[in-house]
Amino acid sequence: MPNRLCLGEFNVFSNTFEGNANSPVGYQMLEGLQRGKNFTWSFLAQQKITKFLDLNLTYYGRKTETSKTIHTGNVQLKAYF
């Protein structure tokens, strides 16, 4: 198992949805994407700190034609015992 792992992803979606994208069903079907072009990207970094500790950093970004960029992320420390 490698001591460090880094992964990245970038996606472009062209959405021509005709219904109500803001209804609960429409939002769930579209997974939060809006009409027009949508961009999503993510980055994952994993580091083995010791034999019993792993650190995971995850970042997600999202942008539509009509909204500001949304940034989210998390940090996870795993202990094996």
Distance CA 44, CA 73 (A): 10
Predicted local confidence at residue 52, as pLDDT:
93
User: Mean per-residue pLDDT for 24-48?
Assistant: 87
Query: Considering the entire predicted model, what is its pTM?
Result: 0.75
Q: Give the mean pLDDT of the chain.
A: 89
C-alpha pair distances (Å), 33 with each of 1, 21, 39, 41, 74: 36, 8, 9, 13, 21
Predicted local confidence at residue 68, as pLDDT:
92
Instruction: Provide the 3-class DSSP secondary structure of residue 2.
Output: coil
Q: List the chain domain ranges.
A: 1-14+39-81
CA gyration radius for the chain? Answer: 17
Helix (H) or strand (E) holding 59: strand 53-64
